[in-house]
Chains A and B, each alone.
Chain A
């Protein structure tokens, strides 16, 4: 049965309202799933190699709890949440302020990591080559820090756009996608903190 012109089935009266989820959120959820699997492998490697280093220094001797950095990063999750909330109420000024706070807190977290690494490399002499602890520590914490940097770049771009007056209420959904990524980076830090600084010591 061949027809010469094609026909597309349509129906005039809609049965029920047809609402599908926002693609940005679903896409970000997929990305978070994939990224979680990457982090999971690094975390498994870290846990597997705890206590298997053939030489020092050991985590208990050199690691200190990064309290300040943790407070900064976790509170940046709160500020980014308020930023999106403000934008949704069309409060662009509030949004800009909260976003600036988020960028600041994220940068402070990176500063604490940088200081910790400087201390470990320069004073203690622990590098990625030293032993299994160095290998797994720098790669896991470094992978997380890389994600913080990527998030910070995106947040800074949003901030720059906000300061130049290009962010409006209709962009709230997109910024929520970005905030999902930032929450994920924070969640990963909780795991990294527990594994590296609590379990690993």
Chain B
């Protein structure tokens, strides 16, 4: 049984009262190596890009809302979908999840900082410059050759479209280099998180006692090593092709365009898991706390996470069924894609079993997690449909695919992410986010989400291809696209409520105290916001729920684990 040590009052101040001049404040943030500040910078930076890329999506939905629309030109439309996809994946999705990882992993394992604090700062700044470089292409992309002012090759940039001949100017180079920089930063952060998880755990924090979020960040980091690196390699090859005249993806000289597809999707599919595994981690932390029960089947959850990590490395070519891989290749990738739904299903059943019989508290974080469960299930089911090669041949590159992967990215990842914001905001700022504004955010966003992405499946089934900038009337797509557009506006409104809530609660939110949710993991043992070195004394734990043991010395968890 653990004994509690009260933290000295002096460092347990919930809110800082000192005011400093802006220059000092700026210097402190730019030069910081503190994992919490770096995590916050990741999150704020990613929110900015989330807003930009979301705005790009809104523009595309306005263009497509009615047939024969001329709101934006085809050229601008190409740039918009390229920038939207690239930004969301590399400069919104990954930084925001790594931001949470950066902030929470050391706190959750009872460490005072990451294993390599300076590498951490380096990784953040290099990723940040990648995003700035990508958007600088709007200014600098014209280059000497006078073509293009932003990348327009699509987020997966198929060869040979990216060759010098077909993409003159520098816009494609901005795309390549910004992704290279982001890749370096991501690998550095993943290395840091993995090393922190292995080497910095507090006494008693065995691997079998780590919070599930930490486990999932570790699996994510492992995937980053094996999948971001192929992307980096492919981008190096593309740069060599474009600048030194090599022939990796030059079909005129015997190079292979399909090889690029393989290299890209070896990264591209596990990337989905890099994004979704941290979201699983959020759900695995929030659902037990708001069900007032320990997570159901902890060992099965860990095993499922690790096996998802491994299996996800062998599914990439299901993006390429229409390339013509032959029956053996198709069968393998159909099989491996369907197999990955087994560990995923295990996770869904475990979350449901955690809810079962619990005293569920419907606060905003929990509402988002329940929406996550429901939406992730549907996303998985359309995934199984698309995994069947014959079905895929009909619907590849249609809006059905777009609807499916946005169901995963928005319906599962972004939804769980919002839950995480409401859940950990009091730890980060010391104040709770407003429940009323949060409910407005929840309902606007969820209704908008379902209007957009439920109905987007239908024009896909009716044959509407992705990446068209407009379409004729009378194909049966008109009304559906209007509904999709209305949903996009509602989602945007929900996000506005969310951003307002973030800012307002920082100044006006209810004071949270160190543990507003009566939670059980170590981050709630620190003051809110946590002091520079997190823990005044090094914690010792003896179960998966150290704060439960502290609050209930008569019935500690270690008796049951």
Contacts and interface: CB of A to CB of B under 8 A. Distances in A.
A26 B199 contact: yes
Give chain B's interface residue range (CB within 8 Å of chain A): 35 or more
Nearest to A36: B229
A91 interface: no
Given A9-B541, A38-B233, A30 B246 contact: no
A125 interface: no
A42 interface: yes
Nearest to B527: A6
Contacts of A48: 256, 259
A10 B513 contact: no
Contacts of B245: 128-129
Nearest to B205: A18
A34 B549 contact: no
Given A9-B540, A139-B246, A23 B203 contact: no
A109 to B, nearest CB: 22
A6 B12 contact: yes
Contact of A27 (B195, B229, B541): B195
Contact of A8 (B199, B246, B254, B535): B535
B225 interface: yes
Interface in A99-125: none
Interface string A134-160: 111011000100000000000000000
Contact of A129 (B116, B200, B228, B244): B244
A10 B539 contact: yes
Given A7-B525, A8-B535, A42-B233, A139 B3 contact: no
B404 interface: no
A4 B6 CA distance: 10
A5 B8 CA distance: 8
B122 to A, nearest CB: 13
B195 A10 contact: no
Interface in A1-25: 1-12, 14-15, 18, 20-23
B115 A34 contact: no
Contacts of B194: 26, 30
A53 interface: yes
B445 interface: no
Contacts of B228: 34
A33 interface: yes
Nearest to B192: A27
Interface in B489-515: 513-515
27 contacts: A2-B516, A5-B514, A6-B6, A6-B514, A7-B6, A7-B525, A8-B4, A8-B7, A8-B526, A9-B2, A9-B549, A10-B3, A10-B540, A11-B540, A20-B200, A23-B195, A30-B221, A34-B191, A38-B232, A40-B230, A41-B233, A54-B254, A129-B244, A129-B246, A134-B246, A139-B236, A139-B246
Interface of B: 2-7, 9, 12, 115-116, 187, 190-192, 194-195, 198-201, 203-204, 221, 224-230, 232-234, 236-237, 240, 244-248, 253-256, 259, 263, 266, 513-516, 518, 522, 524-527, 535-542, 546-547, 549-551
The 7 A-B pairs at the shortest CB distance, nearest first, are namely A37-B229, A41-B233, A7-B4, A6-B514, A11-B540, A9-B2, A135-B246
